[in-house]
Amino acid sequence: SQYYLAADTINIQKSSKTSTASGNVKFQDGELMFTGDKAIVNKQDDIIYTTLEQVKFHYPDSKINGQAQKVTNNGTEQVFSSASYSLCPLGNTDWRMKADQITLNSTTNKGVAEDVTVEFLGVPIFYSPYHEWVLEGRGSGFLSPSFASYDESVANKDNNYQIKIPYYFNIAPDRDFLLTLNHLSSRGSVVEGIYRQLISETSYWRDGRFEIEGHYLNEDDITKNKRWLLNSKLNLSVDDKTNINVMANRVSDVNYFKDISHNNTSVSSLYSQVDASYADVDRNLELSLFAENEQLINSGSEDYTRAPELSISKGFEGLDGRHINLSLVSTKFAHNDSSKTTGVRTHVQANLKRLISTDSYSLTPSLNLSTTNYALDNTGNQSRSIGSVNVDSKLFSEREVSLFGTDLIQTLTPRLAYSYTPKENQSALPSFDSVDKNDSYEGLFSGQKFTGIDRISNANSFTFGLESDFID
């Protein structure tokens, strides 16, 4: 082991391998930098024993820095007496932990502080007689607290503050828990918790992940009501083809995010969803079952929910680039507004296309046939059948170019597509999920102006585009 030592005065005893320094002391070993008034350094074998007084310290490989009246190091354990400790950048110590004694032990990978005070901008906000944390990797202990100010949505409640003090529980390698005390000066103290767990492989499933989050305020100082939030999420892979995803999100009232969380204030709805899917790439087969439920928040307006939706898609590959895809989507649309049209929409579609491709061009003619049936709850049933034709063509060319001293290949791909869809009167059909499409470049060549299934636009048009790439 090597170290660097500089000072106004240094006395060296070769027999004991001890250096004593005083006045403007600077000391650095492999991981730590010190400046102080006095230092005693003793080297025995490969271990450096140090004692420093009136010290400022800094770990260059991390953000740790602080001050101490005395620091001792025996090679595995560093003890800081009457010390401060911060993870803030040097010269900007907003958050600081002060303690009578701080011990960092590299063997146990733990830090221990006694008689601890946490300060924010010099103001004490938290005290503990004992605090323990992990030096590297995951481990239980307090995380950095946070402070914020906010304005209330009610009158005469401006300039409030929020303090969050989180404690992390490293339960096991595959699970953990974060407990946070969230104090709102105008509302009270919210207890928040997040539990996460990785799901191991069993005979029933391959792997997965589970997470649940809860917030609870026993009595709001303003509304006098209980306020709470509950979110949960399950992602489960049954095998390499089958996945199950479940998500549940609920809050106590529509103003929870505005009043308590101070986030998601622009979100109008919370959704709880169940999604089970099967995808077999080799067989070109996909199946899914989906259902959802909606809770309005932040003065949002209600929308249609799918409760449930079943979809099936099967592809067939033929010779010479021929491809047939058959699909069925059946959806039950629900709405809390009784004046809205609700019911089951079943859409069956067949798509036939052929890819003709060479090194210089590609041509893809396609034919799309679909029929849609509406079994409606509060009005007569409706149906629609419609077909469309699309021809998409590309020309490929490339050349070698030099750009900023780098040899590149530039590609140039003119693209021309023709789309035809006959005009169909669809005014009697409900519009559950169709809106104007915000098209991408690729979507411009589809010939369709709407998303969803309820509206299929007529077309008799050509679309031209030009693509170019630079390839290293």
Residue 153: CA count within 13 A, CB half-sphere: 13
Give the pLDDT score at 315: 96
Please compute the mean of the pLDDT values over residues 24-32 and round it to a whole number.
82
Range among 152-161, 367-376, 401-410, 431-440 rated most confident: 367-376
Contacts of residue 442, defined as CB under 8 A and 6 or more positions apart, other chains included, come to none
Direct distance between the N- and C-terminal alpha carbons of the chain, in angstroms, rounded to an integer: 47
pLDDT in tens, 316-325: 998 888 999 9
Residue 31 has pLDDT above 80, yes or no: no
CA atoms of 242 and 278, how far apart (whole Å): 4
The 8-class DSSP code of residue 260 comes to I
Give the pLDDT score at 102: 92
Concatenated DSSP letters of 200-258: PP-SS-SEEEEEEEEEEESS-TTT-S-EEEEEEEEEEESSSSEEEEEEEEEESSTTHII
pLDDT in tens, 260-301: 988 877 788 999 999 999 999 999 999 999 999 999 998 888
CA atoms of 352 and 327, how far apart (whole Å): 12
pLDDT in tens, 117-126: 988 888 888 8
Q: Tokens 């009578």 map to which residue? A: 100
Q: Is 100 within 8 Å of 81 (Cβ atoms)? A: yes
pLDDT in tens, 302-312: 889 998 999 99
- 150 — pLDDT class (breaks 50, 70, 90): confident
Concatenated DSSP letters of 83-95: EEEE-SPTT--SE
Please compute the mean of the pLDDT values over residues 71-98 and round it to a whole number.
86
Domains and CATH numbers, the chain: 1-123 (2.60.450.10)
Cα distances from 41 to residues 20, 31, 38, in angstroms, run: 6, 16, 10
CA atoms of 102 and 87, how far apart (whole Å): 14
**Residue type for position 331:** T
Q: Is 34 within 8 Å of 55 (Cβ atoms)? A: yes
454: left (phi over 0), alpha (psi -120 to 50) or beta: alpha
pLDDT in tens, 189-237: 999 999 999 999 998 899 999 999 999 999 999 999 999 999 999 999 9
What's the chain's average pLDDT? 90
Please compute the mean of the pLDDT values over residues 383-412 and round it to a whole number.
93
Contacts of residue 66, defined as CB under 8 A and 6 or more positions apart, other chains included, come to 56, 57, 80, 83, 84, 85, 86, 96
Give the pLDDT score at 203: 87
Instruction: Give percent of the chain above pLDDT 70.
Output: 98
What is the value of pTM for the model shown? 0.74
Contacts of residue 120, defined as CB under 8 A and 6 or more positions apart, other chains included, come to 94, 95, 145, 147, 163
pLDDT in tens, 164-178: 999 989 999 999 999
> Of 4, 104, 109, which is closest to residue 64 (Cα–Cα)?
104
Helix, coil or strand: residue 321: helix
Please compute the mean of the pLDDT values over residues 74-93 and round it to a whole number.
85
pLDDT in tens, 417-439: 999 999 999 999 999 998 887 77
> Of 402, 318, 389, 312, which is closest to residue 354 (Cα–Cα)?
318
